[in-house]
Amino acid sequence: MPRAAELIGRLGRPGFTTEMQRSVVESNSAVHDTLEELYTDLASARLRLDSAAAGAGLAVVAAGTVPLARVRPLDVTADARYRHMADDYRRVADEQLICSAQVHVDVPDRDTAVRAMCLVSPWLPPLLALTASSPFWLGSDTGYASWRTMLWQRWPTAGPAGCHRDAADYDRALAELIGSGVISDAGMVYHDVRPSAHQRTLELRICDACPRTETVVLVAGLFRALVREACERLAQADGPLCGGRHDWLRAASWRAARSGLEGQLVDPATRRAAPARTVLTGMLARLRPALEASGDWNTVHALLEEALAHGSPAHRLRRAVRAGGLLAGVDTLIAETRGERPGGRPAERPARATAWQGPVPAHVPGHDSAAPARTA
């Protein structure tokens, strides 16, 4: 429903903004040191948004796509930049009725952000698999766990970020893109990961929006560990750590979007197909020192085991649709976004995590998108 501005007006507080589509609300967390604080912030924001939606006869879904969404070209937010994008990209922009989850992690400086981007990129497709929540598009099962990814990758700059020597090299590449006229500003660099243009952070962008807040927290913990590990390796290195061969990454992202947690992924360690559980447990083992240093090990370990046991959001959604049809699937997404679990019980909070005090402050602001799903 194209009523995002109405909901934001009802909320009357910071933390929520409009997006390109008038049916999407962007929610931004504060900066946090611990995963427990992030969970509390995101869960509270979702409850406030859900309450505002209920007052307007709506419900809210945090997912890559909504199963019964309808695409209408006139649903673009009345903003000059968005209008220009709609005019320039036409059908690609019209069909951006999709939602993502993004995470920022602090880095010492922009050079480090650019170099770390290259080191963390191979490990991002498994994070997409964890969050894949968009199997349905316009009422049909696409066969993919994340159809949002396939829609998103039609933008000219979407996909793997590539490797750059330093911030100056990255900025030259960015200037060339803008100079080409294909994009109009730095905000239209839609890589899977990128240095923030406004903050001293590295920004994760590959993930679907997640019905369960715990999944956002899990991804934030894993991404923070990836960035910490990359920064430590860079600080100790005498030369380049990456050969720049990321040709395989788009294929790995496609596989994650197709399979989610229910099939094979491309293992970044071997670049060969392996079961999703094998890839993610291997990733967890690799990141254990960084997770323990930040106090996140117990939380992330428990949340990953839960995610692997229950399946991807796409798997849970398909199960609900098989049992009760598309409306039952939408109701499942609404309930999970509210923090409910089967039987109406509330979700359990993640265990307390101790903040890491080190040379790279690992603050984690979350960026969450949700769509008003349907009239109640």
Q: Are 51 and 39 in contact (CB under 8 A)?
A: no
* 45-89 confidence digits (pLDDT tens): 999 999 988 888 888 999 999 998 888 776 777 788 888 898 889
Minimal CA–CA distance to 228: which of 295, 168, 170, 301? 295
Q: What is the pLDDT of residue 375?
A: 31
Helix axis angle for 35-55 and 297-310, nearest 10°, is 50
Looking at residue 182, its amino acid is V
How many of the other CB atoms lie within 10 Å of CB of 363?
18
Q: What is the pLDDT of residue 75?
A: 75
**Burial class (CB within 10 angstroms; exposed 0-12, middle 13-18, buried 19+) of 287:** buried
Six-digit token pair at 64? 């890559």
Q: What is the pLDDT of residue 348?
A: 62
HSE, side-chain direction, 13 A CA sphere, residue 161: 34
Q: What is the pLDDT of residue 268?
A: 96
How many of the other CB atoms lie within 10 Å of CB of 166?
12
Distant-in-sequence, close-in-space partners of 353: CB < 8 Å, separation ≥ 6: 34, 35, 36, 221, 294, 295, 296, 298, 299
HSE, side-chain direction, 13 A CA sphere, residue 266: 21
Number of H helices, E strands in the chain: 14, 11
How much helix, strand and coil, in percent to the nearest 5, is found in the chain? 50, 15, 35
Q: What is the pLDDT of residue 353?
A: 37
Phi, psi (deg, nearest 5) at residue 57: 75, 25
Q: What is the pLDDT of residue 198?
A: 86
Q: What is the pLDDT of residue 336?
A: 97
Distant-in-sequence, close-in-space partners of 306: CB < 8 Å, separation ≥ 6: 214
Q: Are 374 and 337 in contact (CB under 8 A)?
A: no
The pTM is what? 0.91
Owner of token pair 């990255």 = 170
Helices marked H in the chain: 4-11, 35-55, 80-89, 91-94, 110-120, 124-131, 147-152, 167-179, 213-236, 249-259, 276-293, 297-310, 313-324, 326-338
User: Measured on CA atoms in the order 77, 155, 95, 266, is the torsion positive or negative?
Assistant: negative
Q: What is the pLDDT of residue 255?
A: 99
CA torsion angle 15 215 119 258 (round to 10): -110
Q: Which domains does the chain have, with CATH numbers?
A: 4-337+369-375 (3.30.590.20)
CA angle 104, 105, 110 (to 5 degrees): 100
Q: What is the pLDDT of residue 86?
A: 86
How would you write the pLDDT of the chain (376 residues) with one tens digit per residue?
A: 678 888 888 887 678 887 878 788 888 999 999 999 999 999 999 999 999 888 888 889 999 999 988 887 767 777 888 888 988 899 898 888 899 999 999 999 999 999 999 999 999 999 999 999 999 999 999 999 999 999 999 999 999 998 999 999 999 999 999 999 999 999 999 999 999 988 899 999 999 999 999 999 999 999 999 999 999 999 998 766 776 778 899 999 999 999 999 999 999 999 999 999 999 999 999 999 999 999 999 999 999 999 999 999 999 999 999 999 999 999 999 999 999 976 555 666 664 433 322 223 334 444 555 554 433 2
